[in-house]
Structures are given as structure tokens and as C-alpha cells.
Amino acid sequence: MTPSKENQQNFKVWMQMIQHRTESALGRFLPQETLPPQRLHSAMRYVSLGGGKRVRPLLTHAAGAMFNADPELLDSAASAVEFIHAYSLVHDDLPCMDNDDLRRGKPTCHIAFDEATAMLVGDALQSLAFDVLANSNIDSASRIRMVQELAKASGSFGMAGGQAVDLDATGQNLTLSQLEFMHRHKTGALIRAALLLGAFCGKASAESLHELKVFADKVGLLFQVVDDILDAESSTTELGKTAGKDAAQHKSTYVNLLGLTNAKEKAETLRREAHTSLSSIGTMVGTVSDRLHQLTDFIVDRTY
């Protein structure tokens, strides 16, 4: 079903509202740059504030709303996930990793500051993420559950593990299943954590959590397939980061493994499957999550 203009407008307003409240929450959790060590705090704020689509916080808020979670708790969960994401971007841009000088339309952290500071920014943001969760105003069982999920998603069985596979794969042609394994860890794990932490802030049954994980797996992979397509088709100005990098670095991607047309077909298949799993959750909880349906489409139809 094609969404009505009013529905689309409504989604845009909701999205801006969540992006705005996420920016405020991140700003509150981050140390002020007047506090020593000023250079580190200033760099932490530089990389965390004023940019990014905030896809992960949007997913946390949308999933949490489906289970009637308190929006203030969702701010903590969403900020923790976004701090891990921001840290990963800073480290990913370092010369020893992807070596990039542009991120979110501005110079990367090691260019604007220096490499050692960029290392510390990543380390400190990672600690801050867990500090935010450990201090969130929720019962201790849910708090521990959130810490466990985020730790797993960001560690060697999640994002950092996916990055290790990516580094090992340099100069090699991956098979489709190896590529999928890498992305399920590198990108998918944190997207899944964003959704689950949202659900943990509310009252989600075991059945709906199970189905939410199915949705998370679809949307996590979908995000990366679209990322590969955008890297091949968009410009650096549009993306706010260097375009065409995958081809320049001879990386295995969905585009070079499947070709552009089949990569787009794969994205459409994942989009359909994601919508189907959402409809199952909707039946379980008795309400349809328009926001998660709309976010799925936003992830596919985005231009950056």
C-alpha cells in the first residue's frame, strides 16, 4: 500500500521530533567541553552532535513505543546505542582502518583533532554508552539485560568482530554468505540492539521479542545492502562521506557480487520480508507499528 501524503508528512514530523530529542539527550549525557580534559570532551561532542540520520535512535524509539515504553527511558537507550555507533565511525575512519577524511559532511575526528585523540574519543564514547545504561531509571533486571545486549552487539561477537572480518577480507573476494556474515556482525548487530533495547524499556512478550529479532535481522541486512548501493550510485556531497570507496578499495559488496540490478532486487525482497515480520508483531501486540513500517521504507528509499 502506498502511504498517503498525510501519513508521510506525519512520519517526517515524528522523525524530526526524535532526531531533535536525541540531539538534546546526547548533549546532556556528554561531558561539557569546559570540563578537563577539554580537548577530549570537545572532540567527543564534535563527533556525536550535529550530524547523522540517527537511524538507530529512531528504531529504539519506534520499537519502544510499540511496547508503551517511557520516552525518557528510550532517550537513555537510544543515546547509548548512538554513542557506540559514533565511536565505531571515529575508529573506522582512522588511517589504520578505512582511512577517511570526511564524515557527516565534516572533517573526520583524526583530521579535525589528531589520531591519538580519535582513539581516545572512541574509547571514552564506548564507556559513556555503558555509563548511560547503568544509570538509566529502570528496574535492575531490565538494566542488566540492556547492558548485556549492547555489550554483545558491540564486541567481538558483534560489531568489532564484523570489523575484524572486514579487515581480514582486504584484497579477497568474499562469497555471498561470507559477506552476509560480516555485515550481520558489523552493521546488523547494533541495529538489532537498537530495536531490542527499545523493547526492553517497555513490556514486550517473549513471542513479540522473537519476531522483533526476525525483523531486526532483515532490516539490519537491508541497511547494508542499501549502503552498498548508495556507495556505488551517490556523490560524496550527497552522502557527506567519501563515495565510491568500496570500488576504490576493491571491497566485496552486494553491488559487485550481485550487480546493481540484483542488489536492488535483494533490497526489495528484504523490504517485503521486514514488513511481513512487522505485521506478525502487530498481530501479537494488537497495534500496527506504523513507525517501524515507515522506517523500513526510509532505510530503503534514503538518498544518504
3 state DSSP class of 106: strand
- State the cell numbers at 137: 531509571
Tell me how far apart the alpha carbons of residues 162 and 178 are, in angstroms, rounded to a whole number: 11
37 preceded by a cis bond (ω within 30 of 0)? yes
Burial class of residue 272 in the structure, from the number of CB atoms within 10 Å of its CB (0-12 exposed, 13-18 middle, 19+ buried):
exposed
CB of residue 259 vs ligand GRG: minimum separation in angstroms? 21
Contacts of 154 (CB under 8 A, 6+ apart): 84, 88, 126, 129, 160, 189, 190, 193
Nearer to ligand GRG by C-beta: 19 or 279? 19
Residues that bind ligand GRG (CB under 6 A): 52-53, 55, 88-89, 91-92, 97, 104, 159-160, 163, 186-187, 227
Nearer to ligand GRG by C-beta: 67 or 215? 215
Please provide residue 287's backbone torsions phi and psi, each rounded to the nearest 5 degrees.
-135, 150
What's the alpha-carbon Rg for the chain, to the nearest Å?
Answer: 19
CB of residue 100 vs ligand GRG: minimum separation in angstroms? 10
Task: Find out whether 202 and 72 touch, Cβ atoms under 8 Å.
Answer: no
Nearer to ligand GRG by C-beta: 89 or 243? 89
Contacts of 163 (CB under 8 A, 6+ apart): 88, 92, 97, 186
Neighbour tally for 106: CB within 10 Å: 15
CB of residue 159 vs ligand GRG: minimum separation in angstroms? 5
Nearer to ligand GRG by C-beta: 217 or 227? 227
CB of residue 189 vs ligand GRG: minimum separation in angstroms? 10
Nearer to ligand GRG by C-beta: 3 or 51? 51
Closest C-alpha to 47, from 92, 10, 14, 1: 92
| Position 157, amino acid | F
- Indicate the residue whose CB is closest to ligand GRG: 52
Contacts of 227 (CB under 8 A, 6+ apart): 187
Nearer to ligand GRG by C-beta: 88 or 277? 88
CB of residue 99 vs ligand GRG: minimum separation in angstroms? 12
Nearer to ligand GRG by C-beta: 45 or 53? 53
CB of residue 220 vs ligand GRG: minimum separation in angstroms? 10
CB of residue 86 vs ligand GRG: minimum separation in angstroms? 8
